[in-house]
A and B are shown apart, each in its own frame.
Chain A
Amino acid sequence: MTPETIEQTPVIELRHVDKHFGDLHVLKDVSLAVHAGEVVVVVGPSGSGKSTLCRTINRLEPIDGGQILIEGTPLPQEGRALAAMRAEIGMVFQSFNLFAHRTILDNVTMGPVEVLGVPRKEAERDALELLGRVGVREQAAKVPAQLSGGQQQRVAIARALAMHPKVMLFDEPTSALDPEMINEVLEVMVGLAQGGMTMVVVTHEMGFARRVGHRVVFMADGQILEEGTPEAFFTHPQTERARDFIDSIQGH
């Protein structure tokens, strides 16, 4: 899918979003629209607010000003409506956050069974298929601590997918991984992107951005400074900050 075939209403739309942590102004008048089938890669130096941006989309972080719309509907602020909305937005965290006391299979079935009311049998069939898709089906009976970081993160992706979300948020999904495990996770994400999943990905993986990203959003100091195709952004950055940033991540 290419950006040309995009529907009218964006899946996610941020309008003039403001957010403070105490005295720190972490998001300054941020506006962004993500359309169905689009893969948006958010990059920027640490402390630029990119993670916070990602976390505001399902209200893990409440915002102080502006508006967030999911398929044109304002993001609910609390209660069942918020939970129902979150169930439709998948999220993958930097630190995997699998439920330590449950098996891998349970981790994937808990959402559908508890939240969507899917019968357990059906949820397990679905979960095993998903685990197979991310390549950890054999681990289904183990607990998270018995898996490598890369495996855990793939399970986390399967857990989010089990809810059949309309969009997936990735908050630095490979930053906590040992280098040799990064690719196995990226491969799964590439497969998702190629399958047409709408994705917002906070990451420094330029290779990923170039392969499947439709758009790169560059943030610094809580603002979006640049937006463009990965090719344009990485080869011809418009701002000094972006140039410095690209140099710094290419440095190693």
Chain B
Amino acid sequence: MGFAELISQYGGRYLTALLTTWGMTAVSYLVAMALALVVTVMRVCPIKPLRVLGDGYVQVFRNIPGVSLLVLVVYSLPHLGLVLDYLTSVIVVVSLVASAFGSENFMSGINTIQVGQIEAARSLGFGFGQIMRQVVIPQALRSVVLPMTNLLIAVMLTTSLGSQVPLSPNELTGLVSTINTHTTGGIAAFAISALGYALTSVVIGWVGNRIDRRVRILR
């Protein structure tokens, strides 16, 4: 099947798939960021058990393969009395994994700050909250722009796990598999999805670089 034929027959579905991928990416990324924030707060707080829990969380979710987590959520959780629909399952899996990497990014962002700056703020009479708001968080955020950009791309690529469960509508990867089970889509069927991903990645990367250049801290 050629491009023209594919587009005329499946064009609408490709568009829906692209939007689905974007939507899953956006939701997963937001959830992941929120989780990452909570986990990072746990990891830097002086309460030992929470620190250990936060560190453990990151070790588990950065090392577990997405598929392995997906089968746990989709097939194992129902046996334990928790049934999530397929779309939610995929988003949960992507968010959990991404949050571990997000927290790592936040931690390395915090680590770029000189200890001395915190002491300087302290000696000016800044309280803990002021130090966080005025010194730590703004600097940490500026230095994580690039890694967080790459994480956004990674989240998008990982939503392809959605092809491993029945989703309706399909996301980009699932659609390729669907089309090829109905017809011989050939290389074009694959290329359209691939372009959808690759172009989105390039745009995200470009925007991220622009932002980074604007907010980067001179050292």
**Complex contact flag A–B (Cβ < 8 Å):** yes
Interface, chain A (partner B; CB < 8 A): 58, 60, 80, 83-91, 93, 95-101, 110-111, 114-115, 143-146, 156, 159-160, 163
A101 touches B138 (CB 8 A): yes
Contacting residue for A145 out of B127, B130, B219, CB 8 A: B219
In the assembled complex, the Cα of A89 lies from the Cα of B217 at a distance in Å of: 29
CB within 8 Å for A83 and B126 given contacts A60-B119, A101-B142:
yes
Q: Which of chain B's residues 99-149 have a Cβ closer than 8 Å to chain A?
A: 114, 116-117, 119-127, 130, 134-135, 138-139, 142
* Inter-subunit contact A100/B124 (CB<8 Å): no
Beta-carbon contact of A115 and B119 below 8 Å: no
Other-chain contact of B114, A85, A90, A95, A163 (Cβ < 8 Å): A95
Cα distance A84–B126 in the bound complex, in angstroms: 9
The 8 A-B pairs at the shortest CB distance, nearest first, are namely A87-B125, A97-B116, A145-B218, A97-B120, A91-B123, A111-B124, A115-B125, A86-B125
Q: Number of B residues whose C-beta is below 8 Å from A?
A: 21
A58–B126 CB distance below 8 A: no
Complex interface: chain B residues within 8 A of A86 (CB): 122-125
What are 21 A-B interface contacts by the 8 Å CB criterion? A58-B123, A60-B122, A60-B123, A80-B127, A86-B123, A87-B124, A87-B125, A95-B114, A95-B116, A99-B120, A99-B121, A101-B142, A110-B134, A143-B217, A145-B218, A146-B218, A156-B120, A159-B120, A160-B123, A160-B124, A163-B125
- The distance in angstroms between the C-alpha atoms of A115 and B219, with both chains bound, is 26
List the B side residues contacting A89 at CB < 8 Å: 123
Point out which of B120, B139, B218 has the most chain A C-beta atoms below 10 A from its C-beta.
B120
Establish whether residues A115 and B126, one from each chain, have CB atoms under 8 Å apart when the complex forms: yes
A135 to chain B, nearest CB (A): 21
Tell me if B114 and A97 are in contact (CB < 8 A): yes
Given contacts A100-B139, A101-B142, A163-B125, contact A115 B120 (CB under 8 A): no
Contacts of B135 in A (CB 8 A): 99
Interface centre among A86, A98, A156 (most CB of B within 10 A): A86
Q: Name A91's contact: one of B120, B138, B139, B217 (CB within 8 Å).
A: B120
| Minimum distance in angstroms from B32 CB to a CB of chain A | 25
CA separation between A85 and B124, bound complex, in Å?
9
Complex Cα gap A183–B51 (Å): 47
A148 CB to nearest B CB, Å:
14
